[in-house]
Amino acid sequence: MKSFSFSLYLPRNARNYAPVSTPPPAKWNGPALLRLAAFFSVHLAVTLGAPYFFSSAGLVTLFWPATGIALAAVLLGGYAYAFATLLSCTIAGFLAPEKGIVQIFFTLANTLEIFIARYWLLNIARIDARFDKATDYLKFVLFAGVLLPLPAALIAAAAITKFTTPPAAFWFYAREWWMADSLGILSLTPLLLIWRRLPAGWFDAKYIAEGVIGTAVTVGTGYFLLASPAENMLGYAHGFLVFIPVAWAAMRFGRHATLFITSIIVAMALAGTRTQGGLSPAGALSYLNIWLFLVTLSTVGMALATVFNERRVALRKNAELVEAYRREEARRRESDHALRKTSIDFQRLVERSEEGVWTIDTLGKTTFTNARMAQMLGYSPATMYGRDFTDFMKPARRDAAMALLSRRNSGVQETHEFAFEHKEGHEIWTLASTNPITDIEGNVIGALAMVTDVSGNRKTEQALRESEERFDKIVEGIHDAVIIHQSGFVVYANPAAAHMMGVKTPAELIGINGIEFTHPDSRAEAVERIQKLMQTGSDVKLPPFKRKVVRIDGKIITVESTGFVIPYQGRQAMVVVGREVES
C-alpha cells in the first residue's frame, strides 16, 4: 500500500517568522480538533481508495493524492497533522492485510519521508508556501517534488523486491513510487495551500463569465486531447495544446486559476491512462511521459503566473507611486500657495505689530527689525540692519548681553528685562521674549526677540515703591496704633499697635481675626461700625469710638479708635487707628 508525505513551511527568515499555522499547534481547542479529525478521515479515505483507481502492479499506485494532502495539512497545521497521517497509514495497513510485512516498510517509508520533509523545508529549502515568487515554486518542485520522495521510494521498492515475488525489477517500483508521490505533491499541495485564501476581485461580473468559459474550454480540450480513448498521454498526441488554457489562466487570473486549470488537466491525463479500470503494462511503463508532461505543465504555468503576478504587483506599485506623486505635487502646490500667503500675512503682521521684532545671527549681527523696534530706539530698520546688537546699549550692559546671546546659541528661550540705549542717549527699559532660531536640522542659526517698551511701567512701579516706602516710614513712626484688616483678618500692623496689644513684633498680629481683640461688651457696636464702613466705602470716616480691647496677654484696656476704608494691595481694606485711653 502506498501512503503519504508531509513537511513544514518556512519563510525566508526562519528567525523572524513563525511557520504558517491555523491554529497554532500548541493551542488546541474545539474547532482545531474538529479540523484534525476531518483531515484524518479524508486522508484515510484517500489512502484506502487511491489503489482502486490508480493501481499499476498491485502494490504501487501511479498517482498518490494522499501525499499532497498530507503535505499541505502539515504545512498549515504543524506536527499534529503528521502524527494523524502516520496513524491513518497504520490503520490503512491493518485494513489491507493482504500486503503483509511489506506494509510495515511502507509505513516506515512514509514516516521517514515526513521527517525528512520537515527538516529539509525548514532548514534547507526555506520555501515560502505562499508562492508569491516564481523562485519559490521552482524550489518547491525541486525539493518537494523531485528530491523528497527519493528515500521513501527506495525503501518501498526494496521491501517489495525482498518480501514479495514482483513481476518487475527494483528500479521499476522505485520509479513508480517516486513519480506517484511527486505527482501527488505537485498537483495537490500548492493547490490546497494557495486556495485556502481566495484572491480579491475574482467575483466581479467581468471575471466570472470569462472564468466559466475558460474552464469549460479546458475541460473539453482536456477530454478530447488527453482523456478520450482515441488519444491520451500514453502517446505523443496533441496534448501540448493544453498549455494554451494554462497560459491564459496564468496571464489573466494568476496562481489560483493556474493551479485549478492544471488540476483539471492532470485529472484528464490520468483518466486517459486507464483502460478498462486499470493500466496496461505498456501504459505503466510509459507513465514517465505523463509525469514529465504534467510537471512541465505545472512548472511553466506557475512560473508564468508568478511572473505575471510580480508584473501586476509592480504595475500596481508604480501606479500607486505615480498617484502618490501627483497627490504630493498637488499638496506641494497648495503648500507653496499657503506658504506665500502666510509669508505675506506674517510680514503684514510683523510690520503692524505693537511689539518690536528683532532677529540676530549667532554673532549678534542684526538680520531684521520691524518698524516698531527701530522706532523704539530712534532709528530706521535700514540703519539697524547688519549692526551688532550691542551697539544699541550702554557699554556697561554689553557683557550681560553677550551672556544672554550665549544662552540663546545653546538653545535656551526665556523672557527677561533689558535696557537699550535710545539714539538720543537715554535708556529704554524693555521686556524681551527671546527664542533661538534653528535650521531644518535643529542647529541654532540666530535668535528672535519680541520686545515691549516697559519704561512707563517701570516709572509707575518706582513711584509705587517710593509711595509704599513713605507710607511705611510715616505709619511706623507715629505713636498711634495702626491696624489694617481685610475680610476681618489683620494684614498689617505698625510697631505702636504691637506694643498696645502686648506683643513683641507686628508680625505676631498678622492673620488674627480683628474682632477677637474687642471685648464682648463692645463687640456688637464694633461690628455695626465695621459693616457701616464697608458699605459706605472710602468716602466716609466715622467719629472716634471708645471700646474695651482684650490684649494678647489677657489684659483689658480702653482704646479710642476711628476707622476708614482704603484700597490695599489691590483689594478693599479697613484701617483702624487708635490709642489707649483712661477708662
CATH number (domain holding residue 498): 3.30.450.20
- pLDDT band of residue 379 (cuts 50, 70, 90) is very high
On the question of pLDDT at 83 being above 80, the answer is yes
In degrees, to the nearest 5, what angle opens at C-alpha 70 toward C-alphas 290 and 190? 55
**Domain co-membership, 403 together with 440:** yes
Q: Is residue 471 part of a domain?
A: no
Sign of CA dihedral 97, 99, 104, 110: negative
DSSP lists the bridge partners of residue 156 as none
On the question of pLDDT at 59 being above 60, the answer is no
**Domain co-membership, 16 together with 78:** yes
Whether the CB-CB separation of 174 and 157 falls below 8 Å is answered with yes
Which of 134, 162, 196 is the last residue before a domain boundary?
A: 196
Distance CA 190, CA 255 (A): 9
Average pLDDT (276-299) is 60
**Domain co-membership, 4 together with 21:** yes
Q: For residues 57 and 196, which has the higher predicted lDDT (pLDDT)?
A: 196
Q: Is residue 470 part of a domain?
A: no
Most trustworthy range by pLDDT among 43-47, 329-333, 570-574: 43-47
What H or E segment, with its residue span, contains residue 359? strand 356-361
**Domain co-membership, 154 together with 204:** no
Three-class SS of residue 523? helix
- pLDDT band of residue 457 (cuts 50, 70, 90) is low
**What cell was used for 51?**
489503489
Q: Is residue 122 part of a domain?
A: yes
**What cell was used for 381?**
530698520
**Domain co-membership, 359 together with 238:** no
**Domain co-membership, 234 together with 177:** no
On the question of pLDDT at 452 being above 80, the answer is yes
**Domain co-membership, 238 together with 379:** no
Q: Is residue 186 part of a domain?
A: yes
pLDDT tens, position by position, 281-291:
444 445 667 67
Q: Is residue 436 part of a domain?
A: yes
Whether the CB-CB separation of 489 and 513 falls below 8 Å is answered with yes
**Domain co-membership, 136 together with 224:** no
Which of 400, 421, 453 is the last residue before a domain boundary?
A: 453
DSSP lists the bridge partners of residue 548 as 558
Percent of the chain clearing pLDDT 90 (strictly above): 3
On the question of pLDDT at 23 being above 70, the answer is no
**What cell was used for 126?**
526555506
Helices (H), 478-519: 495-500
Q: What is the CATH number of the domain that holds 150?
A: 1.10.1760
On the question of pLDDT at 365 being above 90, the answer is yes
**Domain co-membership, 157 together with 99:** yes
**CA nearest to 4, candidates 69, 93, 63, 100:** 69
**Domain co-membership, 525 together with 571:** yes
Q: Is residue 403 part of a domain?
A: yes
Lowest mean pLDDT among 42-51, 87-96, 129-138, 363-372: 129-138
Three-class SS of residue 583? coil
The total of structural domains in the chain comes to 4
Lowest mean pLDDT among 259-273, 448-462, 558-572: 448-462
Cα 297 to Cα 149, 240, 269, 456, distances in angstroms: 20, 9, 12, 95
List of residues 6+ apart from 62 with CB closer than 8 A: 54, 55, 56, 176, 179, 180, 183, 270, 273, 279, 284, 287, 290
Q: Is residue 337 part of a domain?
A: no
The model scores a pTM over 0.85 = no
On the question of pLDDT at 69 being above 80, the answer is yes
List of residues 6+ apart from 445 with CB closer than 8 A: 361, 362, 437, 438, 439
HSE of 284 in the Cβ direction (CA atoms, 13 Å)? 20
**Domain co-membership, 397 together with 492:** no
Most trustworthy range by pLDDT among 102-111, 365-374, 524-533: 365-374
Q: Is residue 439 part of a domain?
A: yes
**CA nearest to 577, candidates 567, 566, 427:** 566
**What cell was used for 458?**
517701570
In 322-378, DSSP assigns E strands to 356-361, 366-369
Confidence (pLDDT) at 456: 64
Cα 113 to Cα 49, 108, 149, 496, distances in angstroms: 21, 8, 7, 111
* Residues recorded for the chain: 583
**Domain co-membership, 524 together with 551:** yes
List of residues 6+ apart from 302 with CB closer than 8 A: 131, 134, 137, 190, 250, 255, 258, 259, 262
Whether the CB-CB separation of 252 and 279 falls below 8 Å is answered with no
Instruction: Provide the residue range defining the domain that includes 229.
Output: 198-329
Distance CA 361, CA 436 (A): 10
